[in-house]
Amino acid sequence: MEIVVPAEYKVLWETNEQRPVVKYPAAVLRKVAEPVERVNKETRRLIERMSKVIKLANGVGLAAPQIGVSQRVILVSPTGREMLPLVNPEITHREGEAINQEGCLSLPGLYGDVKRSAIVEVKALDPGGKEVRYRFEGLASRVVQHEVDHLDGILFIDKVDVSTLHWAWPAGSDAE
């Protein structure tokens, strides 16, 4: 899909110190990320870097490819407060379906409706390398699915109902 960014939104698509998230159509966003072989100090540094970026970007989720690192690491923060890092996340179960609006830090200002599973169960490693399992519902379920898609080179625009795509200023944007 070709994205033509309206002039008034171009500022959101700049990549700089204030906007460090990699933007579409960067190749790293379309690549299948490599599994983390061993959770170590480098992995924890990556998670720390991602934590800073997600706060700066006012995001609810972030995948390592969005900061240019092709590794299977995501951060989920649907409440905007607590951040849950997941290494090598794998969706093991899906239930129901829900259609809701999504956006993406790598496609800032663009939104549209995406159909996803209502509930997902995920197996992953925590920052200590221990296996963890979670069951997510609602926004958390949507965020996890969106971020796991990033690890497979899939963007929300690949799943969106094209008729619902629209431009709007992101919440918390300094250009609102």
Whole-number Cα distances in Å, 176 to 8, 60, 104, 109: 10, 19, 17, 10
What CA–CA distance (Å, rounded) separates 44 from 48? 6
Q: Which of 84, 112, 113 is nearest to 97 (CA)?
A: 113
**First-residue to last-residue Cα distance in the chain:** 26
Q: Is 176 a catalytic residue?
A: no
Q: Which of 116, 114, 52 is nearest to 85 (CA)?
A: 52
User: Helix or strand or coil: residue 151?
Assistant: helix
| Catalytic annotation, pick one of 48, 82, 131, 147 | 147
- Residue 21 CB contacts under 8 Å (≥ 6 apart), including other chains: 15, 53, 57, 59, 62, 66, 67, 105, 106, 108
Q: Which of 104, 123, 112 is nearest to 161 (CA)?
A: 112
Catalytic residue positions?
A: 147
